[in-house]
Structure 1
């Protein structure tokens, strides 16, 4: 969701070298951004593990003699790294007790005002006089990734003429963001029955068993890709889909950025803050008194914000987009 901010930064400083410091799992997102010159990997499990690795990271960053650091992440660590790296201009919201480490502190939005995360990131730039000249999510899938996606589909017997519908049953934050798996299975069967599509099940390594469970619960065949692709492959495969049905998740934002029509199912989180930006599709949510609670697990134990969203409702939303 920070891609419009990176785009706006590039438009304001067209000749600047823009580096991104990112953890390994998210690197493919920035590789798909045409505005980034170089990605530096923060590998806490490898080169930057432990205190010695942290010092190595700081020394690595010092060699580049950066002029400024824009800290989109609200974390003390991000500001601490930038300060130790000798970066003279450190811009970010004064959160997590890090204000003393920042040289420029854009004003925070009032808690009473609901804003989308995209605007939250753009607010950092606007707070230091950089206009939000770009407000669209942007990802670019290269030829190599497209070829890899086609190879994966060929391996599963998917023809180029097949209509693909992706379902994404996982969500990293917790089970309160996950629509029931048996409903994803029933939905996949109904869509195949009605439209003759092929169903692709997406997910990361933590979703392997979830993908297996959904696949085994379905009456019709589906291709279970959960835990079997890296992020760059998943992004390229999502672009091949006619429709993407998903919980509130990172892959939801990928589909939105790639302009793939989507149905987004929301439970404990707030679509006004983290919903698909500029999406082509529908948001489904059940407005009950305790939602959005923003909790990873339902504190009341009933998960009605999700269970009240029926298979029929999601099917009708999907039907309207196919």
Structure 2
């Protein structure tokens, strides 16, 4: 196989759950030129992971506040039509995306179909079954993302300019609950941060992604009321966010992109998510991670999240001690 194209027009979470398949394809198809046509975030992640040769960015990821750019999509399609591919793999269950791939010359087309029946396979497994048709062995269940030393140093210097210190225990907070704001209001994060600072003297790192415009400003009165001065990452690039998450002991948030990216850099997480959420998009969990399901009728308390964070930090310390004894 000489030319392989992956297309993706879905959310950031969907792409991060598909990333293990791209990494497996890169490892197994070493002589193949791998292309990716996807939104900006996905292209940045793929380049950082070193699993593609050529990227065609489509603009913003699909979310509640943004959608891929039609103009960029047409430009990408024009560029792709100039190449004949051995295979095109469509990673998203999107009719427009799938129809667009039929305008591209390809010997083989692999399309992700909606699962039949009530039970949907986990997205990582669904994509793994798709690339198995190319002869690619099953991928690892989680993505692996390691910043090169020079890139990590550069991003760490950016964090230092924001006030981050590498000699302090850091806990990252992503104060949003995505599509279910009633489950765990973002204001609860200030109370949680206060307890963490009082108990452990931690350095708080607060993340605002492009999907939460104005989040930092809305929460500023809460941080001020609790006398907190967190290091704030406003709409960071993938490399900066990955470096920040890699430095954290725990990340607390919902089932959104920062938690999934934390999985890739091997940082444990405490995830508060809607109990009605589709589990096929759930971030893979390690032994140190904690998942708290909530419903509007039974919200998760700050005590529960604080306890889960303490458990994760204790498990991380135990793991580090055991590793040093080996």
TM range (shorter): 0.7 to 0.9
Query: Is 2:83 the counterpart of 1:78?
Result: no
Query: Deviating runs (4+, > 6 A) in structure 1?
Result: none
Distance 1:35 1:25 in 2: 14
Structure 1 pair 278–312 and aligned structure 2 pair: CA distance change class (3 A): closer
Is this contact kept in 2: 1:185–1:215, CA < 8 A?
no
Is this contact kept in 2: 1:169–1:246, CA < 8 A?
yes
Which runs of 5 or more structure 2 residues have no equivalent in the other structure?
Answer: 1-16, 62-67, 314-326
The number of residue pairs the alignment matches comes to: 288
Residue of 291, 295, 306 corresponding to 1:283: 291
Structure 1 pair 178–156 and aligned structure 2 pair: CA distance change class (3 A): farther
**TM-score, with length taken from structure 1:** 0.80
Distance 2:139 2:237 in 1: 32
State the Cα RMSD in Å.
2.6
Query: Is 2:227 the counterpart of 1:220?
Result: yes
Residue of 137, 156, 162 corresponding to 1:156: 162
| Structure 1 residue 309: Cα displacement | 0.2
| Structure 1 residue 87: Cα displacement | 2.1
Is this contact kept in 1: 2:44–2:238, CA < 8 A?
yes
Q: Which has the higher strand share?
A: 2
Structure 1 pair 177–83 and aligned structure 2 pair: CA distance change class (3 A): farther
Distance 2:26 2:92 in 1: 19
Structure 1 pair 14–244 and aligned structure 2 pair: CA distance change class (3 A): same
| Structure 1 residue 114: Cα displacement | 4.3
Query: Is 2:192 the counterpart of 1:187?
Result: yes
More off after superposition, 155-164 vs 226-235 = 226-235
| Structure 1 residue 180: Cα displacement | 0.7
Query: Is 2:312 the counterpart of 1:321?
Result: yes
| Structure 1 residue 147: Cα displacement | 2.7
Render the CA deviation track for 1:101-131: whole Å, top value 9, x for unaligned. xxxxxxx4x4233432211211212356543
Is this contact kept in 2: 1:92–1:124, CA < 8 A?
yes
Which runs of 5 or more structure 1 residues have no equivalent in the other structure?
Answer: 96-107, 289-302
More off after superposition, 117-126 vs 211-220 = 211-220
Give the 5 Å matches for 1:262-301. Answer: 262-270=269-277, 272-279=279-286, 280-286=288-294
Structure 1 pair 57–154 and aligned structure 2 pair: CA distance change class (3 A): closer
Distance 1:263 1:56 in 2: 40
Give the 5 Å matches for 1:83-122. Answer: 83-95=102-114, 108=115, 110-122=116-128
Give the 5 Å matches for 1:129-140. Answer: 129-140=135-146
Is this contact kept in 2: 1:263–1:314, CA < 8 A?
yes
Question: Secondary structure in 1 aligned to 2:105?
Answer: coil
